[in-house]
Structure 1
Amino acid sequence: MTPEEAATGPFFCSDAARTRGDPIVGTAPYGDVWILVEYRGGWPVNGFDGLDLEPDVKARVYRAAQAVRARILLVRRHGRRTSSGAAPLWAVLRYERSGTHRQRWGTWRSDADLTEIVNALDAPGQVGLPPVVLVCAHGQHDPCCAVRGRPVARALSERWPDLVWECAHVGGDRYAANVVVAPDGVYYGGLDGRSSVAAVGEHLAGRIHAEHLRGYTNLFPPQQVAVAAVLELVGPAGRHDYAVTETSRAGDRWRIRVAGRSPRAALFDVEVRAYRTAPTRLTCRGAGRSSAVVHEVVSISTG
């Protein structure tokens, strides 16, 4: 315990972020492929990398993931519930801009079984499956992920037991509780039990709200902010109802055009500014101070 903690109590980065009013929009990490590995034991602080697996197997999966910029996440059911005798699962989830998302699932009992992930990354997956709801609950990585994530995982699992998994670190500890809907590629943050059920329920019904939205993972931060601004202005919409069609940058400012998919939908021109925050402590386990880049909307107009 640091002297500061001895005087004020334990530091929780998500509490500090809420106190500062840290914006969450524009903070979804970029990517469109996810590898899930069900692991029912304790999770190492560095997730898949820290598992005691056959080195060659781990290296093959890791290299294949790097080649397509896939994120590897350990997953488990809330409460570590399992079907009696069932083998752990793995999955490859892939986002496609057409909206035809693909998933491929398998099982593993030995380390060697995980090499099937490598083949799955090169194979088309199945379409038409419901999305997977991932709740970061990786307490070994950051205490806030467990303190805030597990109650959310419980609430969501009670409502959608077949869709919801606890997962390892997804990025943005201070925005806990974090939920990722994949392969839709949508990040939500700052959730609790009630708001998570509302957000996921609306998402599954094809209505994504700006509130609690961190961003779409196929977009870069200023583009994420622009789309969220449109949703805040016009109301919730489906994952593919709006698309970024133009992006230009001049210094610390971006001009981003967002277009609706339907013929009668409006065009929106959004100006976004980037700036750095003052250095502060951003995670529970990192005692050092760092600045963060924030993107904010300067103006929005219809074209």
Structure 2
Amino acid sequence: MTTTGRFFCADAARARGDSMVGTAPHGTAWILIEYRGGWPANGFDGLALEPGTKALVFAAAQAAQARVLLVRRHGRQQHQGPPRWAVLRYDGTGAHRQRWGTWDRDEELTQIVQALDTPDAPDAPDLKAPAFGTASLDAPEEWGGRPVVLVCAHGLHDACCAVRGRPVGRALSERWPELVWECTHVGGDRFAANVVVVPDGVYYGNLDAGSSVAVVGEHLAGRVRAEHLRGYTDLFPPQQAAVAAVLGRFGPAGRHDYAVARTLRDEDGWQIRVTGRPPGPAAVDVEVRARRTPQNRLTCRGPATSSAVVYDAVSIRPA
């Protein structure tokens, strides 16, 4: 993967052995906008949309603390029908709360604002999404609570997202063409290829074509493994590290098989109680400490160096 004479942040991070545990950005809502043209380096912010519509969507996303991502199918294949948009929310129950729509004109993206303001439910009629594959858009099928698999392939934002992300996008699209989208920047360029499963809110990193198919297959089967896991987006970094440590100690488990029941801050770090469902442990206490890394170049764009915070689980014991 290394190219002589050119710096790649993901190559450097792997050579250093950078930890990615606890690096999933916090958030429980996502806005997806299918955009089949070229993506600006700053994603949605850089699109030349009708100003009023863009301002409305941006303000609604900020109010809902939702992340806006541009998406497209791998290879920019030509698809029948207008591009799509979606609003997805994580609610802690495992229900995949989603609203989907289509847009031809910029002004039609204001539907996103309405979707963000409207309570939704997994079985609501307007949770139907346009059919995938060769099915007609005039005969939408119910989305049925299936998750969406996002692969960061935003090459203008960071070269590693393209170099490592696009092969993963191809491999996953060949296996699950109806579930997989390439997307703009999701954070953590040096952990490319990055995959986010939404609205589950699970970040995976350091993937390649082979490992991505295995990891996503396990996830869809209800088994989250500690390998390649960056974290759960409804948890804060120390909590993410605690859950990852439990998964590493006791083996893979479903997305909702473990919950953070208590988080106590002390002088040395955090004492975090994680409760679980059988066959996992009923409750364990995990001690997590934070440390800073030396200054390193963490992205492909620009020569600046910075330090990262690493969260280490230093002990796991029965509650």
Q: SS state of the match for residue 100, structure 2?
A: strand
Q: Which residues of 2 match residues 103-182 of structure 1 at below 5 A?
A: 103-127=98-122, 128-182=144-198
Q: Does the CA contact (< 8 Å) of 1:93 and 1:183 recur in 2? A: yes
Q: Does the CA contact (< 8 Å) of 1:243 and 1:260 recur in 2? A: yes
Q: Runs (4+) of structure 1 moved beyond 6 Å? A: none
Residue 30 (structure 1) aligns with:
26
User: What TM-score, normalized to structure 2?
Assistant: 0.90
Structure 2 CA distance for partners of 1:263 and 1:133, relative to 1, 3 Å: closer
Gaps of 5+ in 2: 123-143
Residue 80 (structure 1) aligns with:
76
- Percent of matched pairs sharing the same residue: 71
Shift of 1:286: 2.5
Structure 2 CA distance for partners of 1:110 and 1:191, relative to 1, 3 Å: same
Q: Which residues of 2 match residues 1-303 of structure 1 at below 5 A?
A: 9-84=5-80, 86-127=81-122, 128-262=144-278, 265-303=281-319
Residue 3 (structure 1) aligns with:
none
Count of residues in correspondence between the two structures: 295
How far apart in 1 are the matches of 2:302 and 2:198? 28
Deviation track 1:28-73 (CA, whole Å, cap 9, x = no partner) reads 0000000000000000000000000011111100000001110000
Residue 4 (structure 1) aligns with:
none
Gaps of 5+ in 1: 1-7
Structure 2 CA distance for partners of 1:161 and 1:123, relative to 1, 3 Å: same
How far apart in 2 are the matches of 1:252 and 1:167? 38
How far apart in 2 are the matches of 1:76 and 1:251? 46
Q: SS state of the match for residue 101, structure 2?
A: strand
User: For residue 49 of structure 1, what is the amino acid of its counterpart?
Assistant: D
How far apart in 1 are the matches of 2:305 and 2:279? 48
Deviation track 1:64-104 (CA, whole Å, cap 9, x = no partner) reads 000111000000000111323x1000000000012222000
Shift of 1:157: 0.2
Residue 134 (structure 2) aligns with:
none
How far apart in 1 are the matches of 2:161 and 2:245? 27
User: What TM-score, normalized to structure 1?
Assistant: 0.95
Q: Which moved more, 1:124-133 or 1:32-41?
A: 124-133
Residue 5 (structure 1) aligns with:
none
Shift of 1:280: 0.8
Q: SS state of the match for residue 211, structure 1?
A: coil
Q: Does the CA contact (< 8 Å) of 1:243 and 1:261 recur in 2? A: no
Deviation track 1:123-170 (CA, whole Å, cap 9, x = no partner) reads 233524200000000000000000000000000000000000000000
Q: Does the CA contact (< 8 Å) of 1:208 and 1:237 recur in 2? A: yes
Q: SS state of the match for residue 56, structure 1?
A: helix
User: For residue 113 of structure 2, what is the amino acid of its counterpart?
Assistant: V
Shift of 1:122: 1.5
Shift of 1:264: 7.8
User: For residue 299 of structure 2, what is the amino acid of its counterpart?
Assistant: T
Q: SS state of the match for residue 256, structure 1?
A: strand
How far apart in 2 are the matches of 1:55 and 1:107? 19
